[in-house]
Structure 1
Amino acid sequence: METRSWVRDGLLAIAGGVYAVGLAITNLPLLVVSVVALALSPVPFLGLALLPWVTDLVRMRANLERRLAGRAGVAIACPYQPPPERALPGGWKRFRWIATDPATWRDLAWLVPGAIVGFCLGLLAVAIPLYGLEGITLLPLWLYLSVDWYGYGVFWPIANFSEAMLSMPQGVLFMALGLGAAPWLLEVNAKFAKLFLAPTKAADLRLRVAQLTETRADTVDAQAAELRRIERDLHDGAQARLVSLGMTIGLAEEMIERNPVAARKLLAEAREMSGAALLELRNLVRGIHPPVLAERGLDGAVRALALSLPMPVTVEVELPGRPQTPVESAAYFATAEALANVVRHSGARTAAVSIRYSEGLLAITVSDDGVGGAEPARGTGLRGIDRRLAAFDGTMTVSSPPSGPTVVTMELPCVLSSPKTSPSSGTV
C-alpha cells in the first residue's frame, strides 16, 4: 500500500512539474505587459485602466502558483487587501487600491525568479523519470525495430549488447529516483514561491484585523438574533401562559364561594397551565445552555443528544478535561446542528461523533453514511456552524462527495481544565 501511494504521489508530482513548467513560461510575457502598464500609468484614463487590468492577470497567475504550492503541501495565504467600496474599473479608487497594496509589488518581484526556479525545478521533476523511462524502453524498442545498437537512444547512447542489457535496470533506478524526487522538487519550488507570495507580517496583521472585524459582526448579529428568538419564545409561550394562569386563578378566587365546583375546575386548569409554562421555560433554558452540559460536560451532553436521534450514533470522546464554558457551549451546539443536518438531509442509517483534544485544539468530527452532496454554500445550517466556530477562531471543513459519506470536521483552539481520569467511548 505504501509503494502504491509512493508511486501515485510521484506521478502526481510529475504532472505538477509539467504544470509548473507551463506556468513558468507565462511569467515572462506577464512581466513585459506589466512593465508596459507601469510605463503608461501616468497617461490619463489609459493608465488608470491598464495597470489594474494587468495586475489582475498577475494575481491570477500568482493564485495558480499558490494552488500548486498547496498541492505540494505548502500553504500560501492570499495577501491581497480587500477592495474598497465602489472601486469601479478605470477609476481612481481601484488604481490606488492596486498601487498601494504591497502584495502587488511582491508579485511583480516574483515573476522573474519564480519563472527561473519554477521552470528549472519543474523540468527536473519531469526529466529525471522520463530519462529513466527511456532507459527502460531502449532494449524492447531495439528488439522490435531491429535497428543498430550504436547511437540508439536520445541522451542514452548504447554501443553493444551489454550496454543495452544494463540500460533497463539503470532506467528503473532513474525512474524510481525521479518518482521520489519529483514531490520534493515541487515542495522546494513552493517554498521559494512562498518567500514572495505569502503575506508579510503587516499584511497578516491587517488580514487578521479584517477577519476579527467580520467574525465580531457575525457574532453580534447571531447574538441579536438569539435574543430576539428568546424574547419571541417568552412572549408567545411562557409569558402568555402565565398571564392566562393569573386570569384563571383570579376567576377561581371570585367563584370559590359562589360555585366551589367550577372554582376547583379552574384551579385544575391553572395547575395544568403552570406545568405547561414550566415545561416551556425548561425547553427555553435548554436551548440557551442545556443543564446536562453544565452537569456532565461535553461528553455527557453529546451522548444525551445522540440518544434522542432516530438512528444509532457512535460517540467517541477523549478529553483530558473540560473546555472553557463558552467554547464548550459552542462545541455542543455546533455538534447538535451537524447531527440535525444528518437527520434532516443525509438519509443516513448510522452516524458517528468523535471528540478529541490534542495540542491546544479541540477536534470534533461528525460523519454519516448518507447520500452526501452537502455544501456549506447551499444551506444555512453549515454556515451557521461556521459562524459559531469563527467567533472562537474555530474552523469547519466538509467532505461530502455525491455518493457519500459526509464528514464534517470542526476545530476549536482552547485550554482544558479539571482533568478526567480516562477517556470514554460507545454507541448510543
Structure 2
Amino acid sequence: MNTNTKSDDGDSRARGMVLAAGRGLALAVGSLPLSVLGFCLSLVSMALIPIGVGVLTTPYVVRGVRAYAGRRRALAEQWGGVRIPSAYRPWPRTSNPWTRTYALLRDPATWRDLRWLQVDMTAGFVTALLPAVLVLYPLEGFALAAGLWRPIVSVDASGYWYAFVPVDDQTSAFGAAALAAVLLVVAHRYTVSALQAHFRLTRAVLSPGQTELAERVKVLTETRRDAVDTSAAELRRIERDLHDGAQARLVAMGMDLGTVEMLVDKDPEQAKRLLAQTRRSSAEALAELRDLVRGIHPPVLAERGLGDAVRALALRLPVATEVEVDLPGRADAPVESAAYFAVSEILTNAVKHSGADRIWVDLHHTEGRLRISVTDNGRGGAAAAAGSGLAGVERRLGTFDGVLAVSSPAGGPTMATMEIPCALS
C-alpha cells in the first residue's frame, strides 16, 4: 500500500511538472507579443491625447489592457493558486470623451497595469519560460548521449558545450547525460514552484496598494450602507402597502361576513349582495397580494432566470421592446434580483419620460461580468442625478460592485449600460 502511494505521488508530481512546463511555455510565447503590443498601443494612444485622437482611442486601449490583466489574474488563481486582487475605480459614466479619458488616467490602476506590462515582457517572460527550460533542457543532455553529439561536432569543430560539460565524444556525451539526470531531478522538484514564482511576481506588480484598498473599502462601505437604507425603505413600503391595501380589505371582508351571518335568515337578498361584494373584495385583495409578491421577487425570476424574467417584463410594457439574451448559465439569486429590478427601473423611466416608441434590451455575460444594455429611441437628456431613478439603480448595482453608464445626448437615443461582476453557474 505504501509503495503504491509513493508511486502515485511520483506520477502526480511528474504530471504536475510537465503541466507546469507546458503552461509556462504557453505563457511565455503568448504573453510576450501581447504585453509588447498593449504597452506600445498605450504609449502611442496617450501620446496622441493632446491632438484629440488619443481621447477617442485611450478608453478602448485601457479597457483592452484591463481585460488582459484580468485574464492573467484568472490564470494565476487557476494555474498557480495565487489570487491577485483588483481595485479599478468604476468605469467613468460620462459620455464626454475628454472627461472619461482623464478619469481613466487619474486611476492609479491604469498606471499599475502599464508597469505590469513592462515587467511582464521582461522578467515575467523569463520566469514564465523557466519551467519549460527546466524540463526541456535535460532532454537535450539525453539526446546527446543517444548520439546527437556526432552531427553537432562534425559541423562545429570547436566542440559543443552542454552547460559546463564540453561534448566532443561519446564519453563526454554520457557526462552530459549524467548532468541532465541531475537537472531533471531539480526540475522534478522545482518546476511547479518556478511557475508559481511567475504568478507571485505578477501579484507583486498588479496588487493594489494600501491607499487604493482603503479607498475601495470606503466605496464598498458606502454602497452597503445605501443597500441597508434601501432595504429598510422597501420594508416600510411593503408594510404600508399591506396595511393600506390587502389588510384593510381583509378587515372589511370580516365585517361583511359578520353582517351576512346576521342577515342570512332575516334578509337573504341583502346577504347575497354582501356575499357578492365580499367575493369581489377577496379577488381584489388576492390581486394586490400577487402584485406585492411580484414586486418583492417575481416568481418567473426564481423559476426561469433573469433572461425569461426580463422577457416577461418587456411583454407588459406599452412600448415595443426587443430582448436579446446570451446567458450560458445563471448568476446568484441576489445578483439576478438586483439586475432584474435595475432593468425594471430603467424600462419604467424610458416608458414614462423618454417618449420612445421602441426599446432594445441586451443581456450577455463576458469577461466575468454580467452586462446589460437598455437602449431607446426617445428624446434623450437622461442623467443619473441625485434623486432620479437612475441614481437608485446606481446604488442597487453598487451593492454588488456593479456600475451604471448612461449615454443620453439631447435628441436621443439613450443607452444605459450596466455591468455586475459575477460568475454563472
Query: 1:41 and 2:49 equivalent?
Result: yes
Amino acid at match of 2:14: V
1:244 aligns to what? 253
2:17 aligns to what? 10
Cα 1:49–1:149 change in 2 (3 A) is closer
Give, in angstroms, the shift of residue 254 of structure 1.
5.2
In the alignment, the residues of structure 2 paired with residue 148 and residue 114 of structure 1 have an alpha-carbon distance, to the nearest angstrom, of: 38
Give, in angstroms, the shift of residue 210 of structure 1.
3.2
In the alignment, the residues of structure 1 paired with residue 192 and residue 183 of structure 2 have an alpha-carbon distance, to the nearest angstrom, of: 15
Give, in angstroms, the shift of residue 101 of structure 1.
1.4
Aligned residues of 1:149 and 1:161 also touching (Cα < 8 A): no
The root-mean-square deviation of aligned C-alpha atoms, in Å, is: 5.1
Among 122, 126, 131, the alignment partner of 1:120 is: 126
Among 70, 91, 110, the alignment partner of 1:83 is: 91
Aligned residues of 1:52 and 1:98 also touching (Cα < 8 A): yes
In the alignment, the residues of structure 1 paired with residue 328 and residue 58 of structure 2 have an alpha-carbon distance, to the nearest angstrom, of: 40
Query: 1:206 and 2:159 equivalent?
Result: no
Which SS does the other structure have where 1:78 is aligned?
coil
1:107 aligns to what? 113
Among 6, 16, 26, the alignment partner of 1:19 is: 26
Query: 1:188 and 2:197 equivalent?
Result: yes
Query: 1:174 and 2:128 equivalent?
Result: no
1:23-422 correspondence runs (5 A): 23-42=31-50, 44-71=51-78, 72-88=80-96, 91-139=97-145, 141-142=146-147, 158-159=167-168, 161=170, 164=173, 170-218=179-227, 239-253=248-262, 375-377=329-331, 383-384=336-337
Give, in angstroms, the shift of residue 127 of structure 1.
0.7
Q: Deviations over 1:7-61 (max 9, x none)?
A: 343333223322332314544454444444444433x322423444444444344
Cα 1:254–1:59 change in 2 (3 A) is closer
In the alignment, the residues of structure 2 paired with residue 18 and residue 7 of structure 1 have an alpha-carbon distance, to the nearest angstrom, of: 17
Amino acid at match of 1:181: Y
Which SS does the other structure have where 1:211 is aligned?
helix
Give, in angstroms, the shift of residue 118 of structure 1.
0.7
In the alignment, the residues of structure 2 paired with residue 124 and residue 48 of structure 1 have an alpha-carbon distance, to the nearest angstrom, of: 39
Amino acid at match of 1:20: L
Aligned residues of 2:223 and 2:399 also touching (Cα < 8 A): no
Stretches of structure 1 that go unaligned for 5 or more consecutive residues are: 281-286, 288-336, 346-372, 401-428
Which SS does the other structure have where 1:18 is aligned?
helix
Q: Deviations over 1:389-427 (max 9, x none)?
A: x9799xx99785xxxxxxxxxxxxxxxxxxxxxxxxxxx
Cα 1:234–1:73 change in 2 (3 A) is same
In the alignment, the residues of structure 2 paired with residue 382 and residue 2 of structure 1 have an alpha-carbon distance, to the nearest angstrom, of: 42
Amino acid at match of 1:383: E
Give, in angstroms, the shift of residue 76 of structure 1.
1.7
Equivalent pairs counted in the alignment come to 297
In the alignment, the residues of structure 2 paired with residue 86 and residue 385 of structure 1 have an alpha-carbon distance, to the nearest angstrom, of: 22
Which SS does the other structure have where 2:122 is aligned?
helix
Cα 1:252–1:30 change in 2 (3 A) is closer
Cα 1:40–1:67 change in 2 (3 A) is same
Aligned residues of 1:138 and 1:153 also touching (Cα < 8 A): no
In the alignment, the residues of structure 2 paired with residue 251 and residue 153 of structure 1 have an alpha-carbon distance, to the nearest angstrom, of: 109
Stretches of structure 2 that go unaligned for 5 or more consecutive residues are: 1-7, 154-158, 287-292, 294-298, 305-326, 341-395, 402-420
Q: Deviations over 1:355-381 (max 9, x none)?
A: xxxxxxxxxxxxxxxxxx98334x857
In the alignment, the residues of structure 2 paired with residue 201 and residue 36 of structure 1 have an alpha-carbon distance, to the nearest angstrom, of: 30
TM-score by length of 1: 0.52
Give, in angstroms, the shift of residue 166 of structure 1.
6.0
In the alignment, the residues of structure 1 paired with residue 334 and residue 105 of structure 2 have an alpha-carbon distance, to the nearest angstrom, of: 40
Give, in angstroms, the shift of residue 130 of structure 1.
0.4
In the alignment, the residues of structure 1 paired with residue 261 and residue 215 of structure 2 have an alpha-carbon distance, to the nearest angstrom, of: 67
In the alignment, the residues of structure 2 paired with residue 233 and residue 172 of structure 1 have an alpha-carbon distance, to the nearest angstrom, of: 79
Give, in angstroms, the shift of residue 218 of structure 1.
4.8
Give, in angstroms, the shift of residue 191 of structure 1.
2.5
Which SS does the other structure have where 2:89 is aligned?
coil
In the alignment, the residues of structure 1 paired with residue 60 and residue 253 of structure 2 have an alpha-carbon distance, to the nearest angstrom, of: 68
Cα 1:227–1:8 change in 2 (3 A) is farther
Aligned residues of 1:134 and 1:153 also touching (Cα < 8 A): no
Give, in angstroms, the shift of residue 243 of structure 1.
2.4
Amino acid at match of 1:75: R
Which SS does the other structure have where 2:121 is aligned?
helix
Cα 1:235–1:35 change in 2 (3 A) is closer
In the alignment, the residues of structure 2 paired with residue 238 and residue 46 of structure 1 have an alpha-carbon distance, to the nearest angstrom, of: 63
